[in-house]
Chains A and B, each alone.
Chain A
Amino acid sequence: AQSVTQPDIHITVSEGASLELRCNYSYGATPYLFWYVQSPGQGLQLLLKYFSGDTLVQGIKGFEAEFKRSQSSFNLRKPSVHWSDAAEYFCAVGVRGNEKLTFGTGTRLTIIP
Chain B
Amino acid sequence: DGGITQSPKYLFRKEGQNVTLSCEQNLNHDAMYWYRQDPGQGLRLIYYSQIVNDFQKGDIAEGYSVSREKKESFPLTVTSAQKNPTAFYLCASSIAGTGELFFGEGSRLTVL
Consensus secondary structure, chain B interface: strand
Complex partner residue of A32 from B6, B92, B99, B106, CB under 8 angstroms? B99
Q: Does A99 contact B96, Cβ atoms closer than 8 Å?
A: yes
Which residues of B are found within 8 Å of A44, using beta-carbon distances?
43, 90, 92, 101, 103
B34 lies within 8 A of chain A by Cβ: no
- Name the CB-closest residue of B to A45: B103
- The number of chain A residues with a CB under 8 A from chain B is 24
Q: Which residues 31-70 of B have a CB within 8 angstroms of A?
A: 31, 33, 35, 40-45, 48, 50, 58
Q: Which of B31, B42, B92, B105 contacts A104 (CB 8 A)?
A: B42
| Contact (Cβ within 8 A) A43 B90 | yes
CB distance from A25 to the nearest CB of B (A): 13
Bound-state CA distance A98–B67 (Å) is 20
A43-B90, A43-B105, A44-B90 as given contacts; A99 in contact with B43, CB under 8 Å: no
Please tell me which one of the listed residues A9, A36, A94, A99 contacts residue B48 in the complex, with CB atoms under 8 A apart: A99
Interface size classification for chain B: 20 to 34
Contact between chains at B96 and A103 (CB < 8 Å): no
A46 to B6, alpha carbons, bound, how many Å?
Answer: 18
Q: Once the chains bind, are B100 and A103 in contact (CB under 8 Å)?
A: no
Residue on B nearest A106 in the bound complex, by CB: B42
Q: Does B97 contact A (CB under 8 A)?
A: yes
Whether B58 contacts A43 by the Cβ 8 Å rule is: no
- Contact residues, B97-112 vs A (CB, 8 A): 97, 99-106, 108
Q: Which B residues form the contact surface with A (CB < 8 A)?
A: 4, 6, 31, 33, 35, 40-45, 48, 50, 58, 90, 92, 94, 96-97, 99-106, 108
